Copies of this chain bind each other. A is one copy, B any other.
Amino acid sequence: MNNTSSVADNSFPVADATAPTPAFSPLYQQIKGLILQNLQSGEWKPGESIPSEMELAARYRVSQGTVRKAIDELASDNLLIRRQGKGTFVATHAEHHVQYRFLKLVPDRGGDLDTEGPAQRDIVDCKRLRASADIARALALKTGDAVLQVRRVLSFAGIPTILEDLWLPGGPFKGLTAERLTDYHGPMYALFETEFGVRMVRADEKIRAVLPDATQSQLLKVDGGTPLLSVERIAYTYNDSPMELRRGFYRTENHHYHNALN
């Protein structure tokens, strides 16, 4: 099968005669793209299993090894999870083992956030408003577009530790209410998956050291001179489109942000 062919019945051009470089794209990358489409379209939902390697190989008219390499990359991107003997599954935030997939704050002693008991989540505020210029830019919206703003406090062992403001695009998250957030016990990203079909697959964080303003120090019960970790996160769905802006303020007297560098 040469470089200009497409896969099975799907039209999937891999060469562009006008480009200076022919943009060679390996077969397994094309397969990866096709699988990605099925994930994006919601045909294969978080937690469910996808067809077996043999079945996909037959469907796309390639060898099992080629499908395997495509799945390997998607698995290392944390989009799929392989389970020997059982199948390959769409990754989800709704599993206890990956409770805090994007939250890298850990207690100085203990290793796990939940060692001091489950987190207490308090929704302080949840309202609909129009996006300011910087919020709009972060979410790839236009200034004035409808967005949802949520403010919440996470407490561990009764100590308020994290204050978060989030902004969500109004469209995809239509119908999200403070009540719904309060009633739901589990990771917020899991709620987004099940209720709104939005799965966060990666995120970027910008971290700074700041001093709290009056509101922040009151909500976190610290004085104005206590430095906080400011964590600004933009989370993305499948097609690299931003779906959440989150500004977190972490107390770090007894916790730290842990990062593994490879």
Contact = CB atoms under 8 A, between A and B. Distances in A.
Chief secondary structure at chain A's binding surface: strand
B209 A210 contact: yes
Interface string A205-248: 11111110000000000000101111001000000000000000
A210 B257 CA distance: 13
Contacts of A101: 261
Contacts of A208: 229, 252, 256-257
A203 interface: yes
Given A225-B225, A227-B227, A262 B209 contact: no
Q: A interface, how many residues as a size bin?
A: 20 to 34
Given A225-B225, A227-B227, A259 B211 contact: no
Contact of A211 (B76, B207, B225): B225
B77 A202 contact: no
Contacts of A250: 209
Given A203-B261, A208-B252, A210-B227, 6 more contacts: A76-B76, A206-B257, A207-B229, A208-B229, A209-B210, A259-B259
